[in-house]
Amino acid sequence: MSAGIIFLLILALLLVIFTLQNPTTVDLHVFFWNIHEVSLVLALIICLILGVVLALLLSYPKIWKLKGQLKETQKRLTKLEEQNSEALENPHAEGVEITDGQDDPSFFKD
């Protein structure tokens, strides 16, 4: 079995143990609503799920922005790799071609 499945089974077992040890009911007062005799475990699980959903919703715009930046960076990398391969195909003796408009290929001029 994979480590993820084993982790989820252990987590489920701990949740069952927590549920059996806390059969308490509580009254919830949320803004204008009053909910009477709700299981404490159920209230905690709902709050946990709402917290995760809220965190995901708040972090999604940042993830979207980073994905866009990643695509732009990958495009730039591809373009630079193409330029690099072109430069390697046409190498110059000194690395830089020096031209001054004359046909004399010697570096030192008289």
Q: What is the pLDDT of residues 41-68, one digit of tens each?
A: 888 888 889 999 999 999 999 999 999 9
CA 61 centroid distance within chain: 11
CA distances from 90 to 6, 37, 83 (A): 57, 80, 11
What confidence score (pLDDT) does residue 53 get?
94
pLDDT bracket for residue 10 (50, 70, 90): very high
- Region of poorest pLDDT, from 19-33, 52-66, 71-85: 19-33
Place of tokens 């709902």: 46
pTM over 0.75: no
> How is the chain split into domains, by residue range?
17-85
39 touches 25 (CB < 8 A)? yes
